[in-house]
């Protein structure tokens, strides 16, 4: 059996990104997304995603973009002098006091439940923050406490999840860089050699807007969106018998 979770990161990063993710689900092969809940959430877009039950929605745990939900004075190790998160995940992990990080991440879990009226389908993190010690153990503890599936980007981390009997996909694909990662040719080539088991394919579709001007991965999102909604991709998935699902299928 070959199954594929096509997860679009960064819902609510900007309006253009959120609209692009919904389009990539409705017209393409995206099955899942993860929401940044410490950022302002557009009520109209929230209503749209709530009215789209076929799209799995997880929580994008975030300590590297925007402002915390907690009062900045309560989490000083997480913020700069202006009360904003720092953008360097390795530096954030090195500076963060675990008690402050846990307070903020638990606040994000609670806020997700308040916004969506349900638990997230899974957990992952902005800038892969949960791969850096000591935040890796903290996020593992949160996944255990909530019983939610967790993204695993490499075999070593995946083994740690399996030791704790935490659900996670068998494989992980995806990256970002100066050029769009999921071009049509790369996406089709990847589908042709997809391994057995469940694979998470991380992607970043979206429509570019001015709010993305400060992001290193901005206009590249439009190229990914074009690939993900290309009819040839859906036809290839069906021809190869690849099952599309979201993280909700991984729960024990």
Q: Which domains, and CATH codes, for the chain?
A: 2-63+99-250 (3.20.20.370)
In this structure, the number of other CB atoms found within 10 A of the CB of residue 59 comes to: 26
pLDDT at 252: 63
Contact 100, 60 (CB under 8 A): no
Spans in the chain with pLDDT lower than 50: none
> How far apart are the C-alpha atoms of 240 and 252, rounded to whole Å?
27
Give the three-class secondary structure for 57.
strand
pLDDT at 1: 92
pLDDT at 215: 86
> How far apart are the C-alpha atoms of 219 and 227, rounded to whole Å?
14
For residue 61, the cross-strand partners are 125
> How far apart are the C-alpha atoms of 250 and 56, rounded to whole Å?
12
Closest CA relative to residue 37, chosen from 146, 101, 113, 100 = 113
pLDDT at 193: 98
pTM for the complete prediction? Answer: 0.96
């Amino acid at each position: 059996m070959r199954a594929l979770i096509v997860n679009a990161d960064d819902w609510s990063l900007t309006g253009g990104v959120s609209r692009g993710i919904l389009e990539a689900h409705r017209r393409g092969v995206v099955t899942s997304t993860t929401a940044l809940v410490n950022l302002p959430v557009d009520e109209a877009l929230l209503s749209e995603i709530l009215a789209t039950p076929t799209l799995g929605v997880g929580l994008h745990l975030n300590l590297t973009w925007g402002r915390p939900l907690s009062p900045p004075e309560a989490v000083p190790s997480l913020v700069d002098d202006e009360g904003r998160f720092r953008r360097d995940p390795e530096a954030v992990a090195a500076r963060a006091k675990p008690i402050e990080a846990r307070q903020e991440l638990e606040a994000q879990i609670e806020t997700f439940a308040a916004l969506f009226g349900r638990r997230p389908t899974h957990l992952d993190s902005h800038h892969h923050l949960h791969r850096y010690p000591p935040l890796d153990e903290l996020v593992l503890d949160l996944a255990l406490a909530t019983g939610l599936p967790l993204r695993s980007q490499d075999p070593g981390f995946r083994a740690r999840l399996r030791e704790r009997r935490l659900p996670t996909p068998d494989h992980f694909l995806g990256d970002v860089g100066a050029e769009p990662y999921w071009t049509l040719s790369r996406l089709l080539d990847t589908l042709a050699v997809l391994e057995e088991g469940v694979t998470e394919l991380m992607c970043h579709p979206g429509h570019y807007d001015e709010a993305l001007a400060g992001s290193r991965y901005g206009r590249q999102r439009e190229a990914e969106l074009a690939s993900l909604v290309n009819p040839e991709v859906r036809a290839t998935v069906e021809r190869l018998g690849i099952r599309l699902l979201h993280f909700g299928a991984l729960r024990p």
